[in-house]
Structure 1
Amino acid sequence: MIGITVAQYNSNITDRLLEGALKTLSEAGYAKELVPVIHVPGAWELALAARRLAARPDIRGVVALGAVIRGETTHDQHINRAVSNALMDLMMETLKPIGFGLLTCNTLEQAIHRAGGNVGNKGCETAEAVLAMLV
């Protein structure tokens, strides 16, 4: 079983990422009904939810999805760095693949392009990466 955690902040973007990840997992034989999804308020909470999923013995990997879009301050940089470090640490600690599907964009337009637009869907790509790392 593969779990997904998805941030609700910027849901117009993260909902698309989630759809892509679920579609990719379904095509790989993981029925949507059997993929646990934990919705969290924002990117900051992704690592805790991913940890809870990874702690389950029936979970082989976790897809973490979110979207942080640069604002007027450096807040985005702090969130992005902390979340990416926490997810990497979790992967190394649990030896389970933790997919990094956190968009770190400068603009909303960039995020839209990465959530099913002309750059593809990073939710699909993140799920594909987790699937590729299952051993």
Structure 2
Amino acid sequence: MPTIFDGKRGSADGRYAIVVSRYNDSITQRLLDGALDSLQAAGVADDDIQVAWVPGAWELSVVAARFARCEKVDAVICLGAVIQGETTHAQYINSQVASSLGKLSLQYELPVLFGLLTCETMEQAIHRAGGNLGNKGVETAEAAVEMVNVMQMISAELTE
């Protein structure tokens, strides 16, 4: 029978960093509240959660890298909201942040989760930050807990 690693079956043991963009803070605060509620509902202790506010989405990557490098967290949750304007600026930000966070995750073999809303309008962002389309902060935190569990299960199996 194959060995199956299913993070939904594990505990919430782990240390979590949340890096959240202050830009569009009426949205990002809701994402953060959802993420914190989700982690706490999963049983993560307040002492195992660190939150760092950064000016904007662009700065998410460097602070996520600092958390990853220090090896004191098991996952980094990145939250932000970029709303498309009249220029292509948002597209460049979104693309580079996504790429940077993905590279960090691979470089450090650490779940670095992408909770960046990339919306056309503020209304779309509101719907995804606790509105009728849920809260992406909640979803990102749930994915973080699952990934920490999977990583811990795999590590335990490989060291036995």
Classify the TM-score, shorter chain.
over 0.9
Q: Is 2:72 the partner of 1:58?
A: yes
Q: Which has the larger radius of gyration?
A: 2
Q: How does 1:87-98 map to 2 (within 5 A)?
A: 87-98=101-112
How many pairs does the alignment contain? 135
Give the alignment of 1:10-89 within 5 angstroms: 10-89=24-103
Identity among equivalent positions (%) equals 53
Structure 1 length-normalised TM: 0.97
After superposition, what is the alpha-carbon deviation per residue over 1:93-126, rounded to whole angstroms, capped at 9, x for unaligned?
Answer: 0111011000000000000000000000000000
CA displacement 1:55-111 (0-9 Å, x = unmatched): 222200000000000000000000000000000000000111011000000000000
Deviations 1:27-82 (A, max 9, x none): 12222343111100000000001111112222000000000000000000000000
Q: Match of 1:133, as an amino acid?
A: M
| SS of corresponding position for 1:103 | strand
Amino acid of the residue matched to residue 60 of structure 2?
L
| More displaced 10-residue stretch of structure 1: 51-60 or 106-115 | 51-60
Gaps of 5+ in 1: none
The secondary structure found in structure 1 opposite 2:70 is coil
Distance in 1 between the 2:66 and 2:29 partners?
A: 21
Deviating beyond 4 angstroms after TM superposition, the runs of 4 or more aligned structure 1 residues are none
- Counterpart secondary structure, 1:128: helix
Q: TM-score, normalised by structure 2?
A: 0.82
What is the root-mean-square deviation of aligned Cα atoms in Å? 0.9
In the alignment, what sits opposite 1:118?
132
| SS in structure 1 of the partner of residue 86 of structure 2 | coil
- Three-state SS of the structure 2 residue aligned to 1:36 is strand
- Deviates most, 27-36 or 96-105: 27-36
